[in-house]
Amino acid sequence: MKTLIIFFSMGGRTRQVAQTIATELHNDEVQIEELKYGGKKARSLVNEQDAVRRGDLSHFTFNPAILNLAPYDRILFGTPTYGGLPSPVFEGFLENCKNAAGKEWLLFGTCRLSQGRTFNRMREIIEQKGGRIITQQMFKGFFKINPNKVKAFGQSFNK
């Protein structure tokens, strides 16, 4: 099973979750990739969010090979929650990537208080692209995300 873990993280919490999941996946060939924002401040990302949603990834750095999902059996996508929605780069990535259809998608997110419509929105977009969502998991914590919950989530795919 070839698994691609893609994540976006501004403050590092979602990165930590993605890395923990990657180390717990023992039966898969795992590739982990970050969509990294090049802007200086979160505020500029807020200003750019509509353009990013429409597919403008010019302020992000990432391995361009991941825009073709054909080599992977399943894709784990991780995002923080912003205003009850996924990061705009989730939508922008889906606008640009090829071969999302027919893939197994596993969603994870981080938030502090309430996930709102994060997974509903992600589901709408992935289903529009013909993908299939296998599972979704939000890691909530105002100050800290419980690492044991993250490990258990990663380990659940080894069965």
Point out which residues bind ligand FMN (CB under 6 A).
Answer: 9-15, 42, 80-84, 110-114, 116
CA–CA separation, 68 and 20 (whole Å):
24
CA 81 to chain centre: 11
The residues facing 50 across adjacent strands are none
- Least distance to ligand FMN, CB of residue 136, Å: 15
Residue nearest to ligand FMN (CB): 11
Task: Pick the closer one to ligand FMN by CB: 109 or 131.
Answer: 109
- Least distance to ligand FMN, CB of residue 40, Å: 14
Task: Pick the closer one to ligand FMN by CB: 89 or 103.
Answer: 89
Task: Pick the closer one to ligand FMN by CB: 77 or 103.
Answer: 77
Q: Where are the beta strands (DSSP E) in 1-120?
A: 2-7, 29-34, 36-37, 60-61, 74-82, 85-86, 104-111
Percent helix, strand, coil in the chain, to 5, is: 35, 30, 35
Task: Pick the closer one to ligand FMN by CB: 70 or 113.
Answer: 113
- Least distance to ligand FMN, CB of residue 109, Å: 8
